[in-house]
Copies of this chain bind each other. A is one copy, B any other.
Amino acid sequence: MSTISPLAPKVSVSLSPLAGVRLASHACGLRYQGRTDLMVAELAPGTTAAGVFTKSLTASAPVLWCREALAGGRGRLIVVNSGNANAFTGSAGVASVRRTVETAAKLLGCKAEEVFISSTGTIGVPLDDAKITQSLSEVLGKLSESGWSDAAKAILTTDTYPKMATRTAKIGGVEVRINGFCKGAGMIAPDMATMLAYVFTDAALPAPVLQALLSKGAETSFNAITVDSDTSTSDTLLAFATGKVSHPEVASVTDPLLRGFKKAFDDLLLDLALQVVKDGEGASKFVKITVTGAASARAAKKIGLAIANSPLVKTAVAGEDANWGRIVMAVGKAGEKADRDRLTIAIGGIDVAQNGQVVPGYDEAPVAAHMKGTDIVFDVDVGIGRGKATVWTCDLTHAYIDINGSYRT
């Protein structure tokens, strides 16, 4: 693991046991030396499952499998390896997934469709799945309720720190827990990275309810962050509810009983997602961009992402340059309605431009001071409607080029 990101959370989180989940990690030697590269999580019988995946049209074999398996809405086992993405590996990759889930299902005594699999690492190199399948029975023998931290470490690639979060909430007065961990540093770096996240709760949630919560929560967390605009072939967010805690039955995602849980769940997803941004490759600054006044929430998000993904905005942030002209440019290129002459931009809470022009008597000094911090805040109102969205990103630095432009060949 390289030097820890300067944006890493100052306090490290530890996850308490969660009824119905046991974890183990192992070193299979797929690529790395002297570290674990296999994580297995066993889920109690009856656990429901939900997932959100990459929109890439060249999705990896494990992603295709998870989508298929999810139709059953049940999960008994998660198997994740780092070091090899099993992406762009053709029919060999599909066969590799099939062998792994079938071996795992046999060992655990469950259906293949209850085994979820993720792979992260190099693209285009056939995965030596024998290293995984031959380790599985040993790994299953090591399952433990306290394996969270080791599990979170085993799935890392270019990450500089493990990413964990935990919350509690009440459903009908009964306390339930949510644990989650994830990995990701570039949106993708085919040599190494991708975004994977696993969320667990001991609440009893029907699969369609869990799926609705996850799909909605992902929109304002994992789908509202960007490091470099690049989309992985393997991005995977899975959620599981073991139902080990007895609470009043939840009928639907709109059930008022779920209100507190939903808030905690969304909060945990955002916590994990922001940990990914803060470990963005080469990141030295964390940027929060809120767009208001757009035609719709979707338009606001598109404008926000255009700002967040602009190399010129990102290099200006790296250079601590309060270059609001580049924000104007990015708003313009987003392709969503904006009123050039009603555009308002604030940096660090200080108005910079209003009604399409620089504010009268603009004093750049306090704005420049804000840009020297590590937490940068842009607020943009595009003056059209009531659509609002927040997205998060990091800056584009020399270190990003060092990490991604290094000689692989």
List the interface of chain A (C-beta within 8 A of B).
54-59, 87-92, 122-126, 186, 188-191, 228-233, 309-312, 315-316, 318-326, 328-338, 340-341, 343, 353, 355-358, 364, 367-368, 371, 396-398, 400-401, 404-409
**How far in angstroms is the closest Cβ of chain B from A306?**
9
Contact: A408 with B323, CB < 8 Å? yes
CA distance A378 to B356 in the complex (A): 41
- How far is the CB of A351 from the nearest CB of chain B, in Å? 13
Decide: A329 and B90 in contact? CB cutoff 8 A: no
Would A233 and B329 count as touching, CB distance under 8 A? yes
Known interface pairs A230-B330, A355-B90; A315-B56 also in contact (CB < 8 Å): no
A231 cross-chain contacts in B, Cβ below 8 A: 329, 332-333
Contacts of A122 in B (CB 8 A): 325
Cβ–Cβ contact A401 & B401, under 8 A: yes
Of A57, A324, A338, most buried by chain B (CB within 10 Å of CB) is A57
A190: which of B329, B335, B371, B408 is its contact (CB, 8 Å)?
B329
A126 to B353 CA separation, bound complex (whole angstroms): 13
Q: Which residues of B contact A337 (CB under 8 A)?
A: 57
Q: CA–CA, A333 to B230, complex, Å?
A: 7
Q: A328 with B124: in contact, given A311-B229, A404-B315 (CB under 8 Å)?
A: yes
Q: Which of these, B321, B340, B341, contacts A409 with CB under 8 Å?
A: B321
User: Within the complex, which residue of B55, B321, B355 is in contact with A408, where a contact is CB–CB below 8 Å?
Assistant: B321
Also in contact, A319 and B230, with CB within 8 A (given A311-B400, A329-B190): no
Q: Establish whether residues B315 and A400, one from each chain, have CB atoms under 8 Å apart when the complex forms.
A: yes
Residues in B whose Cβ lies below 8 Å from that of A319 = 401, 404-408
Chain B neighbourhood of A324, CB < 8 A: 124
- With a cutoff of 8 Å between Cβ atoms, the chain B residues found around residue A331 in the complex are 57-58
Give the Cβ gap from A6 to chain B, nearest Cβ, in Å.
17
Chain B residues within an 8 Å CB radius of A326: 123, 188, 190, 230
A188-B326, A396-B401, A397-B401 given; name 4 further pairs at CB < 8 Å.
A91-B341, A228-B312, A229-B229, A319-B404
Residues of B within 8 A of A87 (CB): 325, 328
User: Pick the contact of A315 from B58, B336, B341, B405 — CB < 8 Å?
Assistant: B405
Task: Tell me which of B56, B318, B343 contacts A329 (CB under 8 A).
Answer: B56
